[in-house]
């Protein structure tokens, strides 16, 4: 076999190249209901205070604190959603519910558990107050949760459930966010058929496109399906052209090795600028990255290896950070955590390896401090998608002779929940 003409690039160097070619997508306004997982492009400031009025923390009685315990007449009821028309004067109290505006004149609330309803007298409700309270007790002052003018979310914040709630609280029904990146997916290979098609001799089902579509969706991206391309230049060209017209990122799988029908590398060279075509990593060595300018914008093209595991591992290492940067994440890298090996692992003398593992929290590790225990998913053959089943981390095994013993501490890239 002839040697690849591409220099072998280290993983971190390759990631730097990819991210250097990637710019966050131009912000646009979206409705709050569509914003889950997206990244804010500008800070959001509260216009009004929360609560917008002094509000009761409890169900009970609004009182004048200086009055102290004793029997009082109840001048009215202050309930949530209404501003009471009456005033509480010394010697009187008002019934109040949680969240209701505290009526004028009252300066504290006594919770209902510290009171006792008495029989009405002269048609007037009466109550015994048993507790001495201080001014301000059980009242949320104006703006105590959110002050007017306070920045509730900074640019770069990712919108999860709490952030969505905050936006609703401050009345931001539409927000400026970075759009969801669009990723066009193309499987290549004469042997591939769709999952619902019968297998003819020599054929296998395409697993890469469903896998990567799920990964793109899990990352908050939008999938553009380019189908299965045949190992024919014209077919691949047409599909790649279509992808570039509609997507920010084009991801192909297969056809990047050294075989005669491996057409992707030459196609990417023709179509754009190839930044690298070989990576020092296991699995995933033939990963190819190119850029092409379409309508004045840089599109990213990733030629992932065809083997299902190589494809998904290189997706996590290179495509995922690119998608995250496009989506506006300030730190696009996957989270890195530490894990303790449950069993010895053999190292590769020539390439760093991304070993698929399932991490579980083990309270006994590190002398009882606890930590993640990493169990290998078994045979790491790059064709064996079962080696990714239940994997929530890629162990970063160094390139070296020999093996790491059980109990060794390694760094790992988290590929569990990705949002
Ligand atoms: P290639 O990089 O095209 O030489 O493919 C490498 C290996 O991955 C071959 O065994 C292919 O049959 C297999 N392969 C390529 N694409 C896919 C796919 N979309 N789904 C499953 N296996 C694939
Ligand atoms: Mg192929």
Ligand index nearest the alpha carbon of residue 261: 2
> Sorting pLDDT into bands at 50, 70 and 90, what band is 419?
very low
Whether the per-residue pLDDT at 2 is higher than 60: the answer is no
**Using one digit for the tens of pLDDT, what is the confidence trace for 189-247?**
999 999 999 999 999 999 999 999 999 999 999 999 999 999 999 999 999 999 999 99
- Ligand 1 neighbours (beta carbon < 6 A): 187, 189, 191-192, 204, 206-208, 253-257, 259, 305-308
For 381, the token pair is 């053959």
Ligand 1 atom at minimal distance to the Cα of residue 206: 20
pTM recorded for the entire structure:
0.95
Mean pLDDT, residues 26-40: 98
Say what the pLDDT of residue 260 is. Answer: 80
Residue 42's CATH number: 3.90.105.10
| 165 shares its domain with 252 | no
Tell which residue, 117, 125, 141, 172, has the closest CA to residue 53. 141
| 183 shares its domain with 149 | no
CA distances to 28, 146, 156 from 162, rounded to whole Å, are: 21, 14, 15
Tell which residue, 252, 280, 247, 245, has the closest CA to residue 266. 252
| 112 shares its domain with 163 | no
For ligand 1, pick from 197, 302, 306, 383 the residue to mutate: most ligand atoms within 8 Å of CB.
306
| 209 shares its domain with 305 | yes
For ligand 1, pick from 187, 189, 261 the residue to mutate: most ligand atoms within 8 Å of CB.
189
Say what the pLDDT of residue 3 is. Answer: 67
Give 262 or 291, the one with higher predicted confidence.
291
Percent of the chain whose pLDDT exceeds 90: 96
How far, in Å, CA of 401 to CA of 383, rounded?
A: 24
- Domain containing 352 equals 336-414
Ligand index nearest the alpha carbon of residue 208: 1
| 272 shares its domain with 159 | no
Average of per-residue pLDDT values in the chain = 96
Ligand index nearest the alpha carbon of residue 307: 1
Give 390 or 1, the one with higher predicted confidence.
390
Query: Is the separation of the CB atoms in 152 and 170 below 8 Å?
Result: yes
What is the number of domains present in the chain? 4
User: What's the gap in Å between 208 CA and the centre of ligand 2?
Assistant: 12
- Closest Cα to atom 17 of ligand 1: 306
Residue 283 lies in a domain: yes
| 189 shares its domain with 226 | yes
Residue 361's CATH number: 2.40.340.10
> Sorting pLDDT into bands at 50, 70 and 90, what band is 1?
very low
| 302 shares its domain with 354 | no
């Amino acid at each position: 076999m002839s040697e690849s003409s591409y220099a072998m690039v280290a993983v971190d160097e390759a990631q730097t190249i990819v991210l250097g070619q990637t710019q966050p997508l131009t912000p646009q306004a979206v409705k709050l209901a569509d914003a889950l997982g997206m990244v804010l492009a500008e800070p959001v400031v509260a216009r009004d205070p929360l609560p917008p009025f002094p509000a009761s923390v409890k169900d009970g009685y609004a009182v004048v604190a200086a009055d102290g315990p004793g029997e009082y007449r109840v001048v009215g009821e202050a309930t949530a959603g209404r501003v009471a028309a009456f005033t509480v004067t010394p010697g009187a109290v008002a019934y109040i519910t949680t969240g209701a505006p505290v009526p004028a004149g009252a300066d504290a609330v006594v919770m209902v558990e510290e009171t006792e309803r008495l029989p009405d007298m002269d048609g007037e409700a009466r109550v015994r107050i048993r507790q001495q309270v201080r001014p301000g007790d059980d009242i949320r002052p104006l703006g105590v949760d959110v002050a007017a003018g306070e920045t509730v979310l900074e640019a770069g914040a990712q919108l999860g459930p709490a952030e969505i709630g905050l936006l609703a609280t401050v009345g931001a029904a539409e927000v400026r966010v970075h759009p969801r990146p669009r990723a066009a997916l193309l499987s290549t290979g004469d042997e591939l058929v769709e999952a619902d098609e019968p297998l003819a001799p020599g054929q296998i089902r395409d697993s890469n496109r469903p896998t990567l579509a799920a990964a793109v969706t899990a990352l908050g991206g939008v999938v553009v399906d380019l189908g299965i391309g045949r190992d024919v230049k014209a077919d691949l060209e047409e599909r790649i052209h279509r992808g570039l017209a509609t997507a920010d990122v084009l991801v192909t799988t297969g056809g990047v090795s050294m075989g005669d029908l491996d057409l992707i590398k030459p196609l990417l060279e023709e179509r754009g600028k190839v930044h690298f075509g070989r990576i020092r990593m296991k699995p995933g060595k033939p990963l190819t990255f190119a850029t092409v300018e379409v309508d004045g914008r840089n599109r990213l093209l990733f030629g992932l290896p065809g083997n299902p595991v190589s494809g998904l591992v290189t997706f996590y290492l290179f495509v995922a950070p690119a998608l995250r940067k496009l989506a506006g994440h300030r730190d696009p890298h996957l989270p890195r955590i530490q894990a303790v090996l449950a069993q010895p692992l053999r190292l590769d003398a020539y390439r760093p390896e991304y070993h698929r593992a399932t991490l579980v929290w083990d309270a006994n590790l590190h002398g009882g401090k606890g930590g993640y225990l990493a169990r290998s998913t078994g045979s790491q053959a790059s064709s064996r998608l079962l080696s990714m089943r239940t994997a929530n981390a890629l162990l970063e095994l160094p390139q070296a002779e020999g093996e790491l013993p059980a109990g060794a501490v390694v760094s790992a890239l988290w590929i569990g929940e990705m949002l």
